[in-house]
Structure 1
């Protein structure tokens, strides 16, 4: 399995881990903390701007918007906002070290049997665009019960720590043309109940953003907002077998005499028999009772089928309830925070190893040194994004490149550089107001 770009440490823990290496003197440790604070503050401001841009671009497509629409946007403006939102959202996901789920992975997930013993169907005709992103891929082993708990089996499956879902529904013309009313199941607050109509988040033309945690690869289909529960073959066989056996018992014990009378009557009516059949009041009453018993049995079996399906839907809803992290515009805040955290950790690690090295290093040497340090210290393999980390440090002006070798500014000089950049962010020139 490929190494993950995600750094599984909080930035405060990462800073403390660097200090605990004892490569810095007491004075340098304080300087390093101050420098890290400046890096974090700078990136926080930058990502605040990204968040505002995302919110503005997504507003016309947000199915949960609770604000007034002041200006009617033209089709061209809406298209530009959608394109800008998609591009920005993809950048944030990449900065948060999410990986795109390939079409092959998604198809494999749809074909694999669900770990929760629920068979789901997804109508892809509802969607104009569907993209899944995941972070933290690893193998997990679980013990599942089979044959009513008589047999236990250990299975190994691929699990994702986080999954982000981007879905754009087709325009209203598509829905009006097909006149579809489908049963939706959405476990998040405000979603529809089993058997309900289309939820607000699935309105034509809307764009749905969702974030989940701890999702098995085989269960990705349960994250679609229009997924429908289907009975598995084994469940149909269990219910069908029970109905056949029960029906045979009812026919023999409750309707035996009535069926004989009814068969004779039908044979006489269709000319198959010339023997006239006389139905007494007692036989007629028995026939009525038998018919009522048969109707009650059919209703009972149908209710059993519906109840089993409802139990599956409840299992799906319960499962999604604990996996859902956020929805639509709320996802931005979660992902922006995650992206900011990852960017900070990458910049801090790259600067730390350059400054303690005390000599110029190539990007390849620095990349190997960081990955090896992480594996030795935490027994965890990562795919460190060295190019991204160094580009940030170069942009901040605290790392220089000369003949393929990178050198870090001393910490005091780096602090002064970042402080000067911060002072220039709000350098507004005051001009007199014309009367």
Structure 2
């Protein structure tokens, strides 16, 4: 389900419609207990046993994948991976295969954890507004390797590869809200001066009237995410989409009297962002293999409009091209007006000085606004490093593994989400009978909404694939899925290692 940034032209609001995410937020114990309560007493114990065995098997599947992931990353760790590669004496072609395998597993884990690659449309929507960061931030492309991801996406093509993805890849998950209350004096002055400048250009017929909403702010973005029902959000009539509003100074009614008043701005955030990139190899690098380190950084609560904070190898910010254009045009107009005044009224020096003072004041405004934005940029970078960066490198991978395995994690993660999906899909087949994939998807979402007040986009395909892999569902010639009975399903899976360990511990305690 697509999400659209849809500004309200009359109210000058930026409203983002956001679809549902494939997330089940109900805790697993509560979910299983709730489903068991819907069953008769003579089969609820069999159902609980099946849930326990399914959980153990799926956990084992993911642990094997994580083990390979961590073994491969040991060779590409920026800290000591180069030393380990040298010790193994791999050829460059072998290292190429290993790094592609590492990225393949990493991207699979991120996809199963509900992370999605940030698309070009989403980048455009994020950059269509300003929040706390008011400087143009660009990436120093010469400092980044472009071979790694170009080779990867050629080997493992996806439907839409973002334009930036030959240099780095950004994953995002979840949508939140960030609010900041401050005076924003310099930002308000900048907006007032910009509006005055636009008004003067229109009066002088140097600028065509244009829409207050930028064209790129009306593009669609595939933000298939679920967001919490914050006070500033509203549901659509379909009861599936949610709305989040951007509250920006640029869209506010400002006057001189509002300069000294505190103002609250609001911006949707990416709840989690993961950046993957590789630096370019320096000319005099000691190893013939080159710099093979793969950098992975994990951030939280990044405002969409300040998304540039997570970019790698950022260039030092400078005045924007628009600032230079305004500066040069203002200089030309000011000098023409100054010289014209002296020629027409040589004695009226005060008028000439007033014009010159206005020009100097405008130049000073541009300079001091830039300096204020530069200080704010440095503060935001510092905060993003200490407050918003969760971890990097191996720590990020361990965080993902921990998300997958730990049962007390509240946010729906790979392991927990897939366990819940498998259990719900089997429960529906057990209680409702045979069903097609489409019908099963609808019934699972209906069950979640009616029993647990969940409104999510159920990942029925992955759930059915795991049930088939477990061997506890079959598919008939009409495309309908049918479950094995509880007793037979438990016999097919068999006694798990967890049960054997639990039995051994009880015997030891006795």
What TM-score, normalized by structure 2, do the two folds share? 0.57
Identify which range, 326-335 or 114-123, moves more after superposition.
114-123
The secondary structure found in structure 2 opposite 1:158 is strand
Q: Kindly state the Cα deviation for residue 388 of structure 1 after the two structures are TM-superposed.
A: 0.8
Q: Tell me if structure 1 keeps the 8 A contact 2:74–2:81.
A: no
2:457 alignment partner, SS class: coil
Decide whether the 8 Å contact of 1:354 with 1:361 is kept in 2. Answer: yes
Q: Aligned pair 1:226/2:313, yes or no?
A: yes
Q: Are 1:99 and 2:99 counterparts?
A: no
* Cα distance in 2 between the residues matched to 1:377 and 1:159: 30
Aligned to 1:131: 169
| 1:109 counterpart residue number | 126
Matched, 1:54 2:100: no
Is 1:318 the counterpart of 2:383? The answer is yes
1:382 lines up with 2:447 in the alignment: no
- 2:472 corresponding residue in structure 1: 398
- 1:37 and 2:52 are equivalent in the alignment: yes
Deviation string for 1:81-138 (max 9, x for gaps)? 1111111111111111222210232244356424355654432332223111111235
Determine the structure 2 residue equivalent to 1:263: none
Q: Which residue pairs with 1:416 in the alignment?
A: 491
State the shift of 1:347 in Å. Answer: 1.0
Q: Deviations over 1:318-358 (max 9, x none)?
A: 2442222221122223323132222212111211222222x
Number of equivalences: 328
- Worse-superposed segment, 50-59 or 5-14: 5-14
Q: Any idea what the Cα deviations from partners look like across 1:220-269, whole Å, max 9, x if unmatched?
A: 21112323563677xx99xx9xxxxxxxxxxxxxxxxxxxxxxxxxxxxx
Task: Determine if contact 1:229/1:312 at 8 Å carries over to the other structure.
Answer: no
- Pair 1:212 & 2:294 matched: no
In the other structure, the counterpart of 2:99 is 82
Q: Secondary structure at the match of 1:172?
A: coil
SS at match of 2:47: helix
**Residue pair 1:120, 1:230 contacting (<8 A) in 2 also:** yes
2:25 counterpart SS class:
coil
Is the 1:57–1:81 contact (alpha carbons within 8 Å) kept by the matching residues of 2? yes
Contact conserved, 1:229 with 1:313, CA < 8 A, in 2?
no
* CA distance in structure 2 between the partners assigned to 1:162 and 1:401 by the alignment: 38
Question: 1:171, 1:62 → 2: CA distance?
Answer: 15
| Distance in 1 between residues matched to 2:82 and 2:494, nearest whole Å | 38
Which position in structure 1 is the counterpart of 2:399?
334
Alpha-carbon distance between aligned partners in 1 of 2:281 and 2:30, rounded to the nearest angstrom:
47
Shift in CA distance, 170/16, structure 1 to aligned 2, threshold 3 Å: farther
Partner of 1:63: 78
CA distance in 1, matches of 2:442, 2:260: 51
Find the counterpart in structure 2 of residue 251 from structure 1.
none
- 1:159 pairs with 2:159: no
Cα RMSD for the two superposed structures: 3.4
Contact 2:133 2:373 in 1 (8 A): no
3-state SS of paired residue (1:169): coil
Match status 1:349 vs 2:424: yes
CA–CA separation in structure 1 for the residues paired with 2:371 and 2:177? 35
Q: What is the rounded CA distance, in whole Å, between the counterparts of 2:488 and 2:143 in structure 1?
A: 56
Contact 1:109 1:221 (C-alpha < 8 Å) held by counterparts? no
Unaligned runs of 5+ in 1: 177-202, 241-301, 424-435
Do 1:100 and 1:133's aligned partners in 2 also have CA atoms closer than 8 Å? yes
Aligned partner (choices 89, 96, 99) of residue 72 of structure 1: 89
In 2, the alpha carbon distance for the partners of 1:157 and 1:311 equals 17
Q: 1:99 to 1:64 in 2, by over 3 A?
A: same
- Report SS of the residue matched to 2:23: coil
Correspondence list, 1:140-159, <5 A:
145-147=183-185, 150-159=260-269
Describe the shift of the 1:362–1:416 C-alpha distance in structure 2 as closer, same or farther (beyond 3 A). same
Q: Which has the higher contact order (CA 8 A, sep 6+)?
A: 2
Instruction: Give the direction of change, closer, same or farther, for the CA distance of 1:13–1:316 in structure 2 (3 Å limit).
Output: farther
Name structure 2 gaps, 5 residues minimum. Answer: 1-17, 147-166, 187-258, 328-366, 405-412, 499-510
What is aligned with 1:5? Answer: 22
The 8 Å contact of residues 97 and 342 in structure 1, kept in 2 or not, is answered as no
Change (3 A) 1:315 1:417: same
TM-score between both structures, scaled by the size of structure 1: 0.66
